[in-house]
Amino acid sequence: MLVTTPTEETLRTGGIELSIVKGGSGKPLLMLHDELGYPGWMTWNERLAEQRTLLIPLQPGFGKTPRLDWISNYRDLAGFYSRMLREQRLDPVDVIAFSAGGFVAAEMIAADPRIFRRMVLVAPMGLKPESGEILDFLALTMRSHLRATVADPVNTPEFAKIYGGEMTPAQFEAFEDARTETARLGWDPYMYNPSLPHLLEGLNVPTLLVRGTRDGVVPRGCIDAYQNVLKEAQVAAIEGAGHRSEIENAPEFVRVVKNFLRD
């Protein structure tokens, strides 16, 4: 049962009003959502919010926060969020980042190794996979894209919260906004930055890489690429989960993340 009622507020940074969702109590935990946007408050949020205050900025251009014309790649977006943390005096902070959000977090730490105390990167993009390819979800209809994010849509109850099968015009527009902004930032090179591994190499920020063993979006090769440059990173493989292990196996996901973020 979900008891936390997250709030949404705005804060002024980088010349715009950034919408940010907040929920829970305790030390702040920055959450960077994925390329389809903040999917709503789920069981895993609730469990982590028992001990942490989740801060979830809603990416510029994804419908709520206005788009910033000068943000044209993920490094720019990382700079924007870094500025926000600096201005809000939130750094250093722990971060949990998903998929393209993981790309952003990696760019942030590459630019400023002190910005995060600990990083949880869930199925992160950002590095060219050692093997395999990042799924070209921009060449799929949004329905196929959504379905590709979980290994077993029928048996993933919280997937219905994101996408219940029908799509209202408002949902359609929100997903299109997100996919458009994702195309703008990540089209070429596709969802990675060739210079990023060279800037990450040798950093020793405590890092947990979470992957679903049936991830159809981000291949194992991306995790390998992160491990190649962040030698100390731990890997948690969630058996049978796809790209959204946080909802596909929330108990296991919460267990490994809580264990990692334990003080």
Please give the residue ranges that form the binding site for other proteins (CB under 8 A).
Answer: 138-144, 147, 167, 169, 172-173, 176-177, 179-184, 187-188
Residue 23: CB minimum distance to other proteins, A: 29
Residue 76: CB minimum distance to other proteins, A: 14
The tokens of 157 are what?
A: 């109850």
Residue 187: CB minimum distance to other proteins, A: 4
Chain position carrying tokens 């049936």:
214
Give the chain's largest Cα–Cα span: 47
Residue 240: CB minimum distance to other proteins, A: 22
Whichever of 163 and 253 has its CB closer to other proteins, that residue is 163
Question: Alpha helices of the chain — where are they, by DSSP H?
Answer: 43-49, 74-87, 100-111, 142-148, 159-162, 169-186, 196-200, 220-229, 245-248, 250-261
Question: Alpha helices of 96-249 — where are they, by DSSP H?
Answer: 100-111, 142-148, 159-162, 169-186, 196-200, 220-229, 245-248
Whichever of 137 and 226 has its CB closer to other proteins, that residue is 137
Whichever of 68 and 140 has its CB closer to other proteins, that residue is 140
Distances (CA, A) of 97 to 54, 107, 216: 12, 12, 18
Q: Which residues contact 69 (CB under 8 A, 6 or more apart)?
A: none
Please choose, from the candidates 75, 26, 19, the residue with its C-alpha nearest in 3D space to the C-alpha of residue 49: 26
Distances (CA, A) of 6 to 40, 178, 216: 9, 21, 30
Residue 242: CB minimum distance to other proteins, A: 16
Whichever of 23 and 242 has its CB closer to other proteins, that residue is 242
Please choose, from the candidates 24, 72, 70, the residue with its C-alpha nearest in 3D space to the C-alpha of residue 49: 24
Residue 183: CB minimum distance to other proteins, A: 4
Whichever of 167 and 235 has its CB closer to other proteins, that residue is 167
Residue 100: CB minimum distance to other proteins, A: 13
Whichever of 44 and 103 has its CB closer to other proteins, that residue is 103
Whichever of 16 and 237 has its CB closer to other proteins, that residue is 16
Contact 261, 94 (CB under 8 A): yes
